[in-house]
């Protein structure tokens, strides 16, 4: 027992061969599962009567309304469902449209293509952006490694990024987790080197505003006003363009639709508590009332926001700050699903970057591995046992980041070996040796 604990504490069990084997197994199983769905589908509908890409069907249906000049229709649940039934058959489940009007631009562009092609293009483009973001994080470490790092293993980051379990969930749902992860990752890589570009990337996250709650907080707290201004300008310009394109009434239609999203999808948990990865859903799943669940979520959100602000105002390594911001995006919102755990990918990459550059502390390798694996089991375990895993694992990694930063600050001033936003050494995210 003591030996097992020590291996978990040091992360000695995470050998290169073992992590390659695990990643390859997950990737092969994921690819086989998705291929089975595709080959057994009929007319774009799988054996369970769901459109391939499930949630993507609401994006495509909304896009068809936009092309017809009726941008308010997607926010009317009955009209949205009628269009989904028209496209995919009367037996299709309902997939509501819960996005702000900004995302209608994307929906309309995709609806110009046949459904299958639109789904393939959407996933291919956003997956490519996601890989680009991970590559941008790891690239400096690949350059900093010694010459013998050109041996096999240099491209292991690609295996780990592609095999990350949230990837399959995102593909299966045709969701936008790839895009969210790419915007976070690329913005954080560019934050100090190109603050205006980073601000634009952060601003684009307005299409899923619940994940940008802590971004203005850290930008203001650290005096990154150029980035803050660029993000704000991006949101303003997008709002103006949306109003001109779809009319001012589209905003009222959106606001009216949020009541259904809040009451039915979130508070009543009609989508399933086990799918939602938040403290609010955790409390509701265990029988807490709505006010109590909101109170618990609020307390956690405030605690995370305060800790995040102090971290970003400290002399902690930039990679730790970046990873904590990614984690906070999910922790502070009550409304997040397991496919949104794609945001954990850049967090894992930044954590591993710091560990490879300066060495891993106690439990850090094991915690990073748990964070990588948790999307694979979070939904199933919560469904069968009512035991949530997503929030506890994310919180554990967040706390380890805070501990690491305090130790660093207390022991020595920030050195050139630490990761900064200007020279943040990326890493081979599977190089756990």
The pair of structure tokens assigned to 10 is 């040091």
Dihedral sign from CA coordinates of 144, 145, 146, 151: negative
Dihedral sign from CA coordinates of 126, 369, 381, 298: negative
12 near 146, Cβ under 8 Å? no
Among 158, 171, 163, residue whose Cα is nearest residue 122: 171
Q: How would you write the pLDDT of the chain (433 residues) with one tens digit per residue?
A: 777 878 777 777 888 888 889 999 999 998 998 888 888 988 888 888 899 999 999 999 999 999 999 999 999 999 999 999 999 998 899 998 999 999 999 999 999 999 999 999 999 999 999 999 999 998 776 665 533 333 335 678 889 999 999 999 999 999 999 999 999 999 999 999 999 999 999 999 999 999 999 999 999 999 999 999 999 999 999 999 999 999 999 999 999 999 988 888 888 888 888 999 999 999 999 999 999 999 999 999 999 999 999 999 998 999 999 999 999 999 999 999 999 999 999 999 998 888 877 778 888 888 899 999 999 999 999 999 999 999 999 999 999 999 998 887 777 554 434 444 444 433 333 333 3
DSSP 8-state code for residue 276: B
The residues that bridge with 337 in the sheet, in sequence order, are 276
What is the largest distance, in Å, between two alpha-carbon atoms of the chain? 66
Q: What is the pTM of this model?
A: 0.90
CA separation for the pair 371, 10 (Å, rounded): 16
Q: Where are the domains of the chain?
A: 13-38+125-411
130 near 345, Cβ under 8 Å? yes
- Long-range CB contacts for residues 167-170, cutoff 8 Å, separation at least 24: 167/30, 167/127, 167/342, 168/30, 168/33, 168/34, 169/338, 169/339, 169/341, 169/375, 169/379, 170/339, 170/342
Which positions ≥6 away from 28 have C-beta within 8 Å? none
DSSP 8-state code for residue 150: G
Q: Write down the number of H helices and E strands in the chain.
A: 19, 0
The pair of structure tokens assigned to 29 is 């199983």
DSSP 8-state code for residue 337: B
Q: What is residue 433's predicted lDDT score, i.e. its pLDDT?
A: 33
Concatenating the DSSP letter of every residue in 362-397 gives TTHHHHHHHHHHHHHHHHHHHHHH----HHHHHHHH
Among 368, 393, 396, 398, residue whose Cα is nearest residue 382: 393
Among 392, 304, 311, 318, residue whose Cα is nearest residue 349: 318
400 near 361, Cβ under 8 Å? yes
The pair of structure tokens assigned to 106 is 């994307």
Which positions ≥6 away from 154 have C-beta within 8 Å? 142, 145, 428
Which positions ≥6 away from 64 have C-beta within 8 Å? 83, 87, 111
Among 186, 193, 64, residue whose Cα is nearest residue 118: 64
Q: What is residue 412's predicted lDDT score, i.e. its pLDDT?
A: 56
Q: What is residue 154's predicted lDDT score, i.e. its pLDDT?
A: 63
Q: How open is the CA angle 140-144-147, to the nearest 5 degrees?
A: 135
CA separation for the pair 196, 190 (Å, rounded): 9
């Amino acid at each position: 027992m003591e030996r097992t604990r020590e291996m978990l504490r040091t992360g000695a069990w995470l050998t290169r061969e073992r992590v390659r084997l695990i990643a390859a197994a997950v990737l092969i199983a994921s690819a086989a599962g998705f291929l089975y769905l595709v080959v057994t589908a009929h007319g774009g509908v799988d054996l369970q009567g769901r459109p391939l890409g499930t949630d993507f069907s609401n994006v495509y249906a909304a896009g068809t309304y936009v092309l017809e000049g009726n941008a308010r229709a997607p926010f009317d649940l009955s009209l949205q469902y009628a269009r989904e039934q028209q496209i995919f058959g009367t037996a299709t489940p309902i997939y509501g449209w819960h996005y702000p009007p900004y995302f209608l631009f994307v929906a309309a562009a995709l609806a110009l293509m046949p459904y299958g092609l639109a789904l393939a293009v959407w996933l291919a483009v956003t997956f490519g952006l996601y890989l680009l973001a991970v590559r941008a994080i790891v690239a400096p470490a690949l350059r900093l490694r010694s010459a013998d790092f050109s041996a096999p293993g240099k491209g292991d980051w690609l295996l780990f990024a592609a095999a990350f379990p949230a990837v399959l969930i995102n593909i299966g749902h045709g969701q936008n987790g790839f895009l969210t992860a790419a915007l976070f990752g690329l913005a954080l890589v560019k934050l100090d080197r190109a603050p205006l570009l980073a601000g634009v990337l952060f601003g684009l996250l307005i299409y899923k505003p619940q994940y940008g709650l802590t971004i203005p907080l850290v930008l203001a707290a650290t005096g990154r006003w150029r980035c803050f201004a660029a993000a704000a300008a991006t949101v303003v310009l997008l709002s103006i363009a949306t109003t001109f394109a779809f009319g001012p009434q589209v905003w009222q239609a959106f606001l009216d639709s949020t009541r259904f999203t809040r009451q039915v999808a979130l508070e009543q948990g009609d989508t399933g508590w086990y799918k939602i990865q938040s403290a609010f859903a955790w409390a509701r799943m265990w029988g807490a009332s709505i006010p109590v669940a909101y109170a618990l979520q609020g307390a956690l959100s405030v605690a995370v926001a305060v800790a995040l602000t102090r971290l970003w105002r400290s002399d902690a390594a930039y990679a730790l700050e970046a990873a904590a911001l990614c984690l906070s995006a999910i922790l502070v919102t009550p409304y997040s699903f397991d496919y949104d755990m794609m945001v954990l990918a850049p967090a894992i990459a930044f954590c591993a970057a710091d560990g490879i550059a300066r060495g891993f502390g106690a439990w850090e390798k094991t915690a990073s591995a748990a964070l990588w694996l948790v999307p694979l089991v979070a939904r199933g375990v919560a469904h069968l046992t009512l035991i949530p895993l997503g929030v506890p694992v994310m919180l554990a990694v967040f706390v380890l980041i805070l501990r690491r930063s305090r130790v660093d600050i207390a022991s020595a001033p920030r050195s050139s070996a630490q990761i900064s936003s200007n020279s943040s050494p990326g890493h081979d995210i599977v190089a756990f040796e």
